[in-house]
Structure 1
Amino acid sequence: MRKEHIVYFKVFHKGQASLLRGLLYLEEGQEPAIQDFEQCLRACGHDVRAVIDQEQFIFTAYRDGEEYTIDVIEDYEKNHRDLYSDNLNKTFIKKDPTL
């Protein structure tokens, strides 16, 4: 059975870094390979041309005639806090002006 695998990656372009994500479908227990990441980046609209580092999953891509770098983050830990719930909880806390 195939399962979804979210891929997080940083795009370094024109001195700015953007954290983006893509989606892979892998067989259960299968680890993504370099070709899987490359296919995911292409599906996200990146013109991947070369692999800079196969162990760290760093790619070179082109857009509008300019080269930029994409770094796949395999061990990315997403913040699992719900910011909407946190803000709602703060509205129920009484503020003590003596503190």
Structure 2
Amino acid sequence: MVKTGNSKTKDLFDPDELILTKYEILEFCDRVIKKWNKNPSKNAKNILAMNAVKTSILWTDDESLKAIWGEIIVWTFELLYENAMAQDEDWANMLKKLKNKK
């Protein structure tokens, strides 16, 4: 919360600021691994790589995680934007597709 000049409070959203905790990032990795374990022979390399990501997260301090994952988030949004523009598709349809991927 940030106070504005007229003493009202206003929520400021900063998409570049990582709010997720180390635990939440590890939970995400576990969900991906669980999904890939449904077909382990096809996803063996991916599972191995994601376990390496998990290990690096466990060994990385919180400030470095915020910097690294903050950059990943920014990069992801940039890629989504560039991909949508390259497909000449409107944002509403792109967001629907992203929502349905969950």
Q: Name the TM-score class by shorter chain.
A: 0.3 to 0.5
Higher strand share: 1
So what's the TM-score if we normalise by structure 1?
0.32
So what's the TM-score if we normalise by structure 2?
0.32
Larger-Rg structure: 1
